[in-house]
Amino acid sequence: MGMVTSPAQARSALSGTPSPASDDTILARDLRLTLGSGDSAVEILKGIDLSVPRGQTLALLGPSGSGKSSLMAVLCGLERASSGTLEVAGQDFVGMDEDALARARRGRIGVVLQAFHLLPTMTALENVATPLELAGMPDARARAEAELTAVGLGHRLSHYPAQLSGGEQQRVAIARALAPRPALVFADEPTGNLDAATGAAIIDLLFARRAETGATLLIITHDESLAHRCERVVTIGDGRIASDVRASAHLG
């Protein structure tokens, strides 16, 4: 038998059937991450097996230090796995160098972070349009304006981050993540810097925009109530998957 070179091929080889085009946005096998070397080496991820079908909403649930944010960093190409196999949106993320990973993320992956990470010297419109322009996308400003309007900020296009509330800044961050129409969106503790009412509104918006775009959504959280709004909840503990279940709200 020839060498199996990808997770999709591995799955096909085990089943004895030809490898079709994968329906998985994410396909990881025995994914490991070790930081440091020698006596100071620390194993962060300890053999993660995970497949995420296209269009699914999934929560990575776990306490601080469980490995969930490290797993997100590997899955979205911000950190390279130490070993294992990983395909994201049809791309081999383990075999790529940093430049190739950056190119693979562009337009395919959107990220919403707890701390917003907006550029303070740019307006809301510029924060959304500039990444589109750098990626060479046509009609970047028009697309950015349309996305900001979709998240309820059509009247705040020329405002700078310091002139916006926390909830408004997170709406800009969501618009920035979704404007390229990525196949996959990560949201890492997206309500962590917001009050409860504003956070609930942001989550409603995030799910609504995801439904409209059809993207796969992974939410990284320690909040069980937020996790169970997703179709599937994967609990991470000590760098391993402790459980993988469909949320009760979606069981029928």
In 10 A of CB 155, how many CB atoms? 9
What pTM was estimated for this model as a whole?
0.84
Q: Are 67 and 236 in contact (CB under 8 A)?
A: yes
- Please name which of 34, 64, 63 lies closest in space to residue 48, comparing C-alpha atoms: 34
Question: What is the per-residue pLDDT across 115-126, written as a single tens digit (0 to 9) for each?
Answer: 999 999 999 999
Q: β-strands 91-92, 83-88: how paired? A: antiparallel
The pLDDT value given to residue 234:
96
Q: How far apart are CA 10 and CA 14, in angstroms?
A: 6
Q: Output the DSSP codes for 147-206.
A: HHHHTT-TT-TT--GGGS-HHHHHHHHHHHHHTT--SEEEEESTTTTS-HHHHHHHHHHH
Helices (H), the chain: 7-15, 68-75, 98-105, 124-134, 140-150, 166-178, 196-213, 224-227
Question: What is the per-residue pLDDT across 170-182, written as a single tens digit (0 to 9) for each?
Answer: 999 999 999 999 9
Q: How far apart are CA 135 and CA 133, in angstroms?
A: 5
- Give mean pLDDT, residues 192-214: 92
Q: How far apart are CA 60 and CA 235, in angstroms?
A: 6
The pLDDT value given to residue 6:
42
The pLDDT value given to residue 185:
95
Specify the residue for token string 């390279």.
Answer: 80
